[in-house]
């Protein structure tokens, strides 16, 4: 027998209390609320969560459980399959409603549709809400009623609507659990943490959970946002927000991030306005990635433009050793290796450096973008399928709003431009710490006496990079001309 006084809130990647519309609706409409996390990653995406994402999820769930307990309603943990688990829990508790917030990846959409139909067939109220995006992917269309493929007109349409967004919802002050107690799993039983402690480097960098997200947002809005536009491309400067994993796991809503940025711009110096709007535009790129994957659901694994299916990538037997060198930060190109070491040790890499390492992999090394996407997926704490897919297709030149095929970053010049003093590179490549700035981004050009003084022998990977940048650039351009010509 179902009761209208009890509701289940099915939590996924919306692990917060504030601006959480499913939780808000349950608390407003029902006397008793049961927050539930169902672990069923295989139902949400063919890309199962990587090791770094699982690490974050463990700690985010732990933080959420503490917050919910303080409100009076413990977090229940169970495993899927989701449809049967929800139906069973409704029977156990007598719940009459199930609320959740929407996911937009193709597999998750299909699963949620089946769940909603099954619950309604059982006589339950089943309702979903938008909590992850500023706008639903189907709300923004071209003048012809089609999905967008280019960011600029997409963002013009979205930006014109920002002032009409509703204000973020408050967190509930109190939650009462169902009268019937039910058993669940501990978070540890999900086995999300690594058995070998390779994650030690993550802890100094990150505080998963809603409180950590709020603290990072407040720090960014109070200072770094004022220099975001001018310094966001400098990896040695803490000018970026670091909010991407918090947004991905739903510990922070994009509406809250938007509001904080604009409030900071209004109350600070006039020069902050343009910088804050530049940050808001980056929220727009996040929206655009979800828009694309929703409307073009194969783009997580296939190029958006069909002609690129015939691109002459190297074969796995030929590129295996180069791929391993790239993954391990042993390419012999300092800014690239610094980025890949940062990724491995901290679970994150600076956005400018992401573009540099992706350009080297797809263009200089002619290794398929899907290999890079898979590595990022496993190693990034902010691994988001829409953003990962958009970013890699952009770098490879085969997706929506992609970088022109002839744009091939020279990683040496990029390093000299964006890390001129070498602070970032030296931090992640301590073996180059004693090399003068003049040679830091091109150590193979350093005279032998300077190399010896810096501790770099002839057998060092920095004596000879794994790829000739000039020749490989010509090879890439020839490959792209082949595709351009059909």
Mean pLDDT of 437-444: 96
* 397 vs 382: CA distance, rounded Å: 23
- Containing 201, the helix (H) or strand (E) segment is none
Q: Binding site annotation covers 169?
A: no
Q: Give the SS3 label for residue 166.
A: coil
From edge to edge, which strands make up the β-sheet containing 95-101?
Answer: 76-79, 32-39, 3-11, 95-101, 125-129
Question: Tokens at residue 175, please?
Answer: 């939650």
- Decide if 165 contacts 255 (C-beta within 8 A): yes
Is position 175 within any domain?
no
Strands 95-101 and 125-129: parallel
Structural domain boundaries enclosing 466:
306-484
415 pLDDT above the threshold of 60: yes
Same domain? For 412 and 465 the reply is yes
Please provide the DSSP assignment of 214-249 as one string.
HHHHHHHHHTGGGGHHHHTT-TTS--S---HHHHHT
pLDDT for 403 beyond 70: no
In a domain, 300, yes or no: no
Number of domains in the chain: 3
| Among 18-32, 388-402, 428-442, the least confident range | 388-402
Q: Is 135 annotated as a binding residue?
A: no
* pLDDT at residue number 350: 96
Same domain, 148 and 288: yes
- Count CA atoms within 13 Å of residue 214 on its CB side: 9
Residues 264 and 342 both lie in one domain: no
Q: Do the annotations mark residue 242 as ligand-binding? A: yes
Last residue of a domain, one of 89, 115, 132: 132
Residue 365 is labelled as binding a ligand: no
CB atoms within 10 A of CB 465: 23
159 domain residue, yes or no: yes
Question: Is the distance from CB of 357 to CB of 376 less than 8 angstroms?
Answer: no
Phi, psi (deg, nearest 5) at residue 170: -75, 160
What phi, psi does 38 have (nearest 5°)?
Answer: -100, 120
Is 434 found in the same domain as 382?
yes
- Encode pLDDT of 284-300 as tens digits: 999 999 999 999 999 99
Choosing from 132, 152, 178, the residue where a domain stops is 132
228 marked ligand binding residue: yes
Token digits of residue 432: 């180059």
- Among the candidates 274, 295, 316, a domain finishes at 295
Angle formed by the axes of helices 316-328 and 334-346, nearest 10°:
70
Answer yes or no: are the C-beta atoms of 102 and 132 closer than 8 Å. Answer: yes
- The answer to whether position 411 is within a domain reads yes
Among 52-66, 282-296, 445-459, where is mean pLDDT lowest? 445-459
Q: Which residues contact 246 (CB under 8 A, 6 or more apart)?
A: 208, 212, 213, 216, 217, 252
């Amino acid at each position: 027998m179902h009761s209208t006084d009890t509701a289940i809130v099915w939590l996924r990647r919306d692990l917060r209390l504030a601006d959480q519309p499913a939780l808000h609706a349950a608390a407003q409409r029902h006397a008793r609320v049961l927050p539930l996390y169902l672990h069923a990653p295989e139902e949400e995406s063919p890309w199962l969560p990587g090791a770094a994402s699982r690490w974050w999820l463990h700690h985010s769930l732990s933080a959420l459980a503490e917050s919910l307990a303080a409100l009076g309603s413990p977090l229940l943990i169970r495993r899927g399959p989701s449809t049967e688990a929800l139906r069973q829990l409704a029977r156990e508790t007598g719940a009459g409603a199930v609320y959740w917030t929407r996911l937009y990846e193709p597999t998750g959409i299909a699963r949620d549709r089946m769940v909603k139909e099954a619950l309604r067939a059982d006589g339950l109220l089943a309702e979903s809400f938008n909590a992850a995006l500023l706008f639903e992917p189907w709300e923004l269309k071209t003048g012809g009623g089609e999905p967008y493929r280019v960011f600029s007109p997409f963002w013009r349409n979205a930006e014109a609507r920002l002032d009409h967004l509703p204000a973020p919802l408050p967190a509930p002050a109190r939650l009462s659990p169902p009268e019937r107690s039910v058993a669940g799993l501990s978070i540890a039983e999900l086995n999300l943490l690594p058995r070998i402690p390779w994650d030690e480097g993550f802890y100094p960098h990150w505080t998963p959970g809603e409180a950590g997200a709020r603290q990072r947002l407040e720090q960014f809005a109070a200072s770094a946002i004022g220099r975001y536009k001018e310094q966001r491309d400098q990896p040695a400067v803490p000018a970026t927000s670091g909010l991407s994993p918090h947004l991905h796991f739903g510990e922070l809503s994009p509406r809250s991030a938007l509001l904080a940025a604009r409030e900071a711009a209004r109350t600070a110096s006039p020069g902050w306005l343009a910088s804050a709007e530049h940050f808001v535009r980056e929220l727009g790129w996040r929206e655009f990635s979800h828009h694309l994957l929703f409307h073009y659901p194969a783009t997580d694994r296939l190029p958006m433009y069909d002609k690129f299916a015939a691109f002459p990538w190297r074969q796995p037997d030929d590129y295996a050793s180069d791929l391993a060198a790239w993954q391990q930060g042993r390419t012999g190109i300092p800014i690239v290796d610094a980025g890949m070491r940062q990724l491995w040790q901290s679970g994150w890499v600076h956005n400018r450096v992401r573009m540099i390492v992706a350009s080297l992999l797809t263009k200089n090394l002619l290794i398929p973008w899907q290999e890079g996407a898979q590595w990022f997926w496993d190693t990034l704490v902010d691994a988001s399928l829409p953003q990962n897919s958009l970013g890699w297709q952009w770098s490879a030149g085969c997706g929506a709003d992609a970088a022109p095929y002839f744009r091939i970053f020279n990683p040496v010049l990029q390093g000299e431009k964006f890390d001129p003093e070498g602070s970032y590179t030296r931090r992640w490549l301590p073996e180059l710490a004693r090399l003068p700035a003049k040679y830091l981004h091109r150590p193979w050009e350093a005279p032998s006496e300077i190399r010896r003084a810096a501790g770099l022998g002839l057998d060092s990977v920095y004596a000879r990079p794994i790829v000739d940048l000039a020749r490989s650039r010509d090879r890439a351009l020839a490959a792209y001309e082949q595709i351009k010509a059909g």
